Amino acid sequence: MLYNNKYMHHQHHHHECCHDDCLNMAHNHVHLSHDITCHQESIHSCGGDTHTTSKNEFDDPPDDPDRLSEKIKLTWKIKGMDCAHCAQQIENSLKALPNINQIKIVFSTEKLVVFVPQYNEKTIKLIENKVIELGYKPIFESSPEHSHHHDHSHSFDKKALIPLGVLSGLIVVSYILLLFNQTVGEYAFMVTAIVGLIPILKEAVVLTRSGTPFAIESLMSVSAIGALFIRAAEEATMVIFLFMIGEMLEGVATSKAKKGISSLAQLMPEETVIIIDGVRKTVASHRLKPDDIIEISSGGRLPADVILISEQANIDESALTGESIPVNYLSGDKVLAGSLVVDNTIQLKVVSEVGQNAVDRILQLIEDAEERKAPIERFIDKFSRYYTPAIALFALLVIIAPPLLFNADWYTWFYRGLTLLLIGCPCALVISTPAVITSALSNAAKQGVLIKGGASLEHIGSVKLVAFDKTGTLTEGKPQVTDVISQDIAKEQLLTLVAAIESGSHHSIAKAIVDYALQNQLNINEADNRKAIAGVGVQGEIDNQTFYIVSPSKVVTVSSPLKDEHTKIIEELENAGKTVVVAVTSQQLMGIIALQDVLRADAITTMNELNKLGVKTLMLTGDNARAAKAIASQLGMDYRAELLPADKLAEIEKMRISTSIAMVGDGINDSPAMKAATASIAMGSGTDVALEAADAALTKNSLLSLPKLIGLTRFASRNIKQNVTIALGIKLVFLITSLFGFTGLWLAVLADSGTTAIVTANALRVLKFKNKS
């Protein structure tokens, strides 16, 4: 079949309250009162574990503490901010301004976010003037709808070639003059060097005044002026020329890295056809609001998260999830913004607020992720702050110590000191990690995976063991009734009784029993006084008699022990991998109901792919040991059964002592165990995933994304190590060769700019990485 049928999967997204710990009937049949009041945002008890229900799937994702404060958020798009070092320069300059609470620079999307105590035009102007003074163009974004819908072009600005072209022409003229007249040629090179140096010197002065005295521009200026001072005009010119080429190459490479992020924003159409009272009207997409009815033709992209009104539609989600085969959606299904309509003109209802659709949230997560730096990135930032001043001081000592102490030649050691200054710029080192992380986040987003940041990426890349929640993660989370065994009453009576107590619950087991009763055309009236018994089950009254629905292991807490013949039947059912619940009064057994969940279609393939990566797998479940063994044997994995949430937490903490472990779950009920793991991964869609507990989210709700994620993060981690090794290794080599006079000024600047271009180009490999499997 050409299309994946979404109908088989869409129901799973709506059982926010169900989870393996709750579903486990053989250990704790406890869907309790929280199922009855699932959408009332109340506190619930589940298997002895207290938790809050999840938000509606269209609610906003949790904000960081800064956004929850009373600060005013001001946002600019910064044109010309083409490297992480540029972003650092802007941040350092703005820190000195008054009335600034916090500064956040997002290099990948060229954003400047400033938090201020109150909205003030004077403060805005002050910030913009400072940014302009640094040589960048700030574009103020006054409202949320402009946040991701402005021009996201990250192509290289060809105007940057003009100064390079002018300098190239002057160098050619200077060489020609040098051939005819040595003196005139030397003066021509001095003029050429000064012409090339002026813009660099201007920027160095601005940066120094702004609190960044050891920028590459400052080091370049000192080296070039020093070279002119010792009448090495030709080398001064070549140093400036090579520096400009290096900056250009860095800009080209960086613009390619940022295209991966900007391509997401470009998925959003500028205009959309809206239907008002039967009349079609074209409006700007950012003016759409929830409950608007829109019409999208074949080949058009969705401007917001929507609910399908038309009978069915084939949707291409490849730009968001990496899934190349179109998905068949049915009326009532939710579809994410940025998706492409494949065949028919369809009508849809908008459900997302302005700036809160799937694409906006992915971009926001990527932006927020840049603040969550990997440990190695934090180390490099700290190292670079001391590295450059230390090299500058060392260069000064190289210039003055040998001539003063050993009567060495001043010219020789002055020249070597100037060369060392050029080695002092940490640009390649500073950009080595963020360039990789930006590329990895972009690549992952295109494959339907959201990673929380550099630290999360590093953690996931180190994983040796993956622990899985069972229900809804390894299985579909939609159990079916397989056996109904009544005792002293008819099967229909047993089903009616249990369904009456379970009616209204959103728990998957409860819904399965109610649905089965309805399929058998039974009339169901809700039981009276339904309530939960913490850690045991649920009870209700019918005709003034109390009935209990519990797992077999909890029967003795509310009723008489089961007879041996009944225990034998239950064991047989559980050995077949089924989950069993029993209905009892305080005196006797009324009946036994068995249910069975089915494995996800991609579960076996995923386990095989993880095995190929050398990753061990483990299932943690609250289900009975026999049912857990049946599932685990199909998947070829180890398991731990009959676990309460606290037991899962203890298992994760115990295993983390000896190995790096990831926990995969729904990110809500599993949050204690997920937070205890080295890395946590949540299943869910792009708008309802609980990232507050997870390092990453599989937005396609597909397990196959997991080996892709681990493969990508491992590749990115290796790439970071390669970049750091390249940056430090080349610096070390040229530090030694410069000290002993084997390296000249022009080679030093070529090494610096070339290394920056190399590590950026190496980072681009992460952008194009695909798992071989």
pLDDT in tens, 339-398: 899 878 999 999 998 888 878 877 776 666 556 666 777 787 778 778 888 989 999 999
* Enzyme catalytic residues: 469
pLDDT for 68: 39
Give Rg (Cα) of the chain: 32
Phi, then psi, of 160 in degrees rounded to 5: -65, -15
Residues 491, 554, 18, 50: is their CA dihedral positive or negative? positive
Are 317 and 336 within 8 A, CB to CB?
Answer: yes
Q: Answer whether residue 44 shows pLDDT above 50.
A: no
Q: Which of 434, 430, 426, 429 is nearest to 216 (CA)?
A: 426
Within 13 Å of residue 707, how many CA atoms lie on the same side as its CB?
20
- Lowest model confidence (mean pLDDT) among 13-22, 433-442, 573-582: 13-22
Q: Answer whether residue 79 shows pLDDT above 80.
A: yes
How far, in Å, CA of 251 to CA of 231, rounded? 32
pLDDT for 85: 66
What is the percent of the chain with per-residue pLDDT over 90, rounded to a whole number? 37
Q: Which of 671, 669, 651, 670 is nearest to 661 (CA)?
A: 651
Reported as type and span, the H/E element at residue 683 is strand 679-683
Q: Which two tokens stand for residue 756?
A: 């920056």
Q: What is the mean pLDDT of residues 516-538?
A: 85
Q: What is the mean pLDDT of residues 20-38?
A: 35
More confident residue, 412 or 15: 412
pTM: predicted TM-score of the whole model, two decimal places: 0.69
CB atoms within 10 A of CB 740: 8
Which amino acid does the sequence have at 419?
Answer: T
Name 772's Cβ contacts closer than 8 Å, sequence gap at least 6. Answer: none
- Lowest model confidence (mean pLDDT) among 180-194, 291-305, 343-357, 689-703: 689-703
How far, in Å, CA of 276 to CA of 364, rounded? 31
pLDDT for 692: 60
Q: What rounded mean pLDDT belongs to the chain?
A: 81
CB atoms within 10 A of CB 328: 19
DSSP for 11-25, please give it.
Answer: GGGG-TT--HHHH-H
Q: Answer whether residue 56 shows pLDDT above 50.
A: no
CA angle 34, 36, 37 (to 5 degrees): 65
Q: Answer whether residue 5 shows pLDDT above 60.
A: no
More confident residue, 243 or 411: 411
How far, in Å, CA of 90 to CA of 128, rounded? 11
Q: Answer whether residue 460 shows pLDDT above 90.
A: yes
- Lowest model confidence (mean pLDDT) among 233-242, 349-358, 474-483, 750-759: 750-759
How far, in Å, CA of 665 to CA of 668, rounded? 8
pLDDT for 709: 95
